[in-house]
Amino acid sequence: MDSVSVKKFRDNLKDYVEQTVTDHTPLKVTRRSGEDFIVMSADDWEREQETLYVLQNSSLMQQIADSVQSHNQKTGYQPSREEMDEITGI
């Protein structure tokens, strides 16, 4: 993660915001007199929140584990050709 001083961030705000949104990389802004902070796009923040929700939900994590197991054992649901065409948009 890149890091810049708060002064440099303030002086180049538009460029840093554009870079953060375009590259989907958070930016650490450091301050002399206090705690640092992170700048990231709203879309990236929402994705992070969704990931944290799934990771903290034991029921969802169990469903994922069960799904991986049935996939590896090839015992999971097999969609029909028509269903696959609808899924893939062919």
- Would you list the domain boundaries of the chain? 2-40, 41-74
Q: Tens digits of per-residue pLDDT, 44-72?
A: 999 999 999 999 999 999 999 999 999 99
C-alpha torsion angle, residues 50, 56, 57, 62 (rounded to 10): 110
Round to whole Å and give the CA distance between 71 and 58: 20
CATH topology of domain 2-40: YefM-like fold (3.40.1620)
Q: What is the pLDDT of residues 8-27, one digit of tens each?
A: 999 999 999 999 999 999 99
